[in-house]
Chain A
């Protein structure tokens, strides 16, 4: 057409007008449209990029951007419709393959189209706020292909079926699944969520609801947990293989809810295999698994903890109320320690050292240890046993270990002052009899108590050690100055104990044999000569003596006896036969002590240096005692122990408790005064609360006792009741 015109006019200027051909835009677009067809038909090799780029550039430059853009939308849409039809036509298993192949092709085509239309993408599209080419291509794919009615539901069904098959153990093409889900994600998070994830989660919930029901009927707890764990890991693995990483939380949530949360009570309480059985049988692996799984659901750990706590409390309670167990304090405490060790091990190895579990364990122990008021005594006895013999030949670290464990039990005690009382008694016995295994261990424990309870708690215990040391020095001084005077007479070793630091004993004197009396007098003079203003009294009930005795046939033995026993035996230097009454009269030893000491001298086999008439186990007032001339022993040294009650008898126990109660009174009063001095005015309940708080590191004061102390303080005019409000107290200074 233009050639014709050219001929007719032959005007040079006309040539230029050809450029502004009214059909220019249409023609150029045809070229580009053709190129897009060729690209989709895999015929791009014949296309010149430079030419196409230039054409698209020119269209935009000459203000035909709108035409170019709308043409692109139309062309691409029609191609995608074709693609959609061919995917729909794909049979059965080929569907996903076809979809995936077409998606890859579309992506490649889209990239090439974008290359051609790059100039439009950079200038025209932002200026007119249109959708960029790449995004447009994805949107059209989504709307025309994925959301076409025939494809949408089929795609969903196939994806879910594949997941189901994989869950039941079949092998599926994960690579293909990965490509398809990636496509959905590329199309935007909402496409992935609405077209796949939502349904996937629903189907999974149904699946696991059924499966867990089946498992719980047929498996024991450990087995069930193993299966649940495996399912959980499978799902996590599935996500990593072909799902969006953000799906992990959601799908694990489904598994957790269906497999764990809805069955957790049943699992924990399952007969013969639940939590309690795992604890009893020390199934650390199962416990650990339970912890890890239950941790994932809300209240899961709380449930485990509560069941464990109530079980520990029950076990502890049984242990503490079992009269058999209470017979042997050392064994009893050892049981407590073993119990603690067991749970510590469970918590470290199965419960990942969970702080809340540790706290629960501690509070349980605190709860049941204080159920028995004799616990402080028993713990002290346990220490006593360990420090007397239990720790002989044990390395320093092991000693520390045992002591640390004891301290741990000590921490649980509410009545720490009762423990202190007993500990003082037991320590005194150990020190005076020289039975302590290791001075270091003793001091180490004192240091531990000091860090736990403060200086006040241990000052008296430390005083006892100081006394022992000074006594040594005193004795050295005494021997140095009087050594020559004593000559062949009996050796004397005296321990000077400060009153107050040591457990108070009623002073029960006895008549010492004349041989001893002399040297005792010398010591008294020496001591009072070096220290003025002091008073010495003899605690004969606590001493020991070594005697040299010659029996029939010239057999010689060295007898290690208590002071009382020595007094008795010395009588037999002058007589072969003495009646009980005679002995009692001469020695003036208190009846119960004398009976005990005679029993040990005459009734214990192998140590019966005296003979009793008549022969019987118990000592009666009418008995007569004879020197046992026929006594033999294969040892040269014979230790004749006193038949001593290790555990306190009931009346003694009562007495100790009473003493403790007495000791608490001033402490409670001091606390009340301290608080009132600071607060001036306070009501009753608050005083009780504060006093309890101040004193709980030592003991738990009884509110009734506090009330009594307040009344006593009011009587003594430290406090007064408020005139208006009877519940208020005022401090009077």
Chain B
């Protein structure tokens, strides 16, 4: 590949393409073209201007060649998307296609890219974005897994028990927490392969060297490869269990203290800064709300808040979801009117500082059940309410965008990951994918 011979001629499925070795070098060494042009393989091609034959689809090759030339992906209407992805897989360019499809995630630039309808009956339970743009959706006892191309993989279930929470341990593994079945030792937690749907581990709760059956609730992962889950057992096994991701063995258990709630928590969140775990049990699962920060090294509760004993006002405000924001030293909470509230993390047993937007909203409250949820991503705060998701930015959390779609009913859960936002609607079994478009031409 000297400079003079920089021009390369291809015959792809009968069509002639000319390009340069420089353009093809954009594919990287770990691709068909990278290997083809490696010095190991004597490329005997440019003898008397003859072309190099590849037995593939020329239309897809054209799209992929343009991707290598410009970095942009344009799929003409005559090229089926699935076929293009297959061709990209052949050339080893699937990573290029994926990163060209969407820009870096920005809550204020999101566009609805697709809606996927499922075949599951009943209300959705949870949706979780995978690390590379795929997602998994839980309905009743079933979990459906989709990769980033939104190809569906074999569905998962844990003894057909009702699923409480799901999570991506990594791109290849999905964790499911489910209810126990009385007397059978079924349910609990299982780790599945996201490609094949095979169960790889079941996670046990052990007390006094005896394996106990339990109901696993909310899930959470820490960067040091631990799995946390809220556990509700038969007798006194209430609390937060900790397992090792690689061995599947239980390594710790934080027992619930009387008068407080851990085992039925709705939400767990690992805080990297303080290396503590936020545990939140919220209305209506319990009559009161309990939020605490646990330090597993000392087995102590380093911070806690509860609304026990707080006077109920006329416009009753109950915390429905909570998320810790370490950068602001506070916990953000939301009530059923989508009011945001903040609790200072530096003072234990402080009070909620509500920002009152609900007065504007009150007249328009629909009768259907609502599921307020919060998420934090790159300094942007997202909150779902009824059929829309609001985006808040800046130090004072100003409302900057609202994502809404015309059908599907209330959003029961949403999740952000792999540069995508997934929103699961409770009716019609549909979920939406919101993406940031690629950066503008100029």
Contact = CB atoms under 8 A, between A and B. Distances in A.
Interface in A199-237: none
Interface in A22-45: 44-45
Interface string B334-370: 0000000000000000000000000000000000000
Given A50-B53, A126-B172, A119 B89 contact: yes
A256 B252 CA distance: 42
Contacts of B43: 49
Interface in A90-129: 108, 111-112, 115-116, 118-119, 122-123, 126-129
Contact of B40 (A57, A112, A119, A123): A112
B172 A49 contact: no
Contact of A118 (B44, B92, B172, B196): B92
Contact of B35 (A53, A122, A128): A53
Interface string B29-64: 011100110101111100000001111000000000
Interface in B174-197: 193, 195-196
Question: Looking at chain A's contact residues, is the secondary structure mostly helix, strand, loop, or mixed?
Answer: helix
A49 B195 contact: no
A115 B55 contact: no
B160 interface: no
A634 to B, nearest CB: 90
Q: How many residues of A sit at the interface, in one of the four size bands?
A: 20 to 34
A385 to B, nearest CB: 65
B89 A50 contact: no
Contacts of A119: 89-90, 92
Given A49-B35, A53-B35, A122 B89 contact: yes
A118 B32 contact: yes
A127 B196 contact: yes
B195 A126 contact: yes
Contacts, number: 49
A112 B55 CA distance: 21
Interface in B192-212: 193, 195-196
Nearest to A111: B40
B55 A54 contact: yes
Contacts of B42: 44-45
Interface in B56-114: 89-90, 92, 94
A115 B92 contact: no
Given A44-B42, A49-B41, A118 B55 contact: no
Nearest to A39: B40
Contacts of A49: 35-36, 41, 43
Nearest to B92: A118
Interface string B267-292: 00000000000000000000000000
A57 B88 CA distance: 13
Nearest to B172: A126
B436 to A, nearest CB: 27
Contact of A115 (B41, B52, B196): B41
B11 to A, nearest CB: 11
B90 A57 contact: yes
A331 B219 CA distance: 82
Contacts of A44: 40-42
Contacts of A129: 172, 193
A53 B32 contact: yes
B198 to A, nearest CB: 9
B154 to A, nearest CB: 11
Nearest to A54: B55
Contacts of A127: 193, 195-196
A57 B31 CA distance: 13
Nearest to B95: A122
Given A44-B41, A50-B54, A115-B40, 9 more contacts: A44-B40, A49-B41, A118-B31, A118-B32, A119-B90, A126-B195, A127-B193, A128-B196, A129-B193
Interface of A: 44-45, 47, 49-50, 53-54, 57, 108, 111-112, 115-116, 118-119, 122-123, 126-129
The 3 closest A-B pairs by CB, nearest first: A115-B35, A127-B195, A49-B41
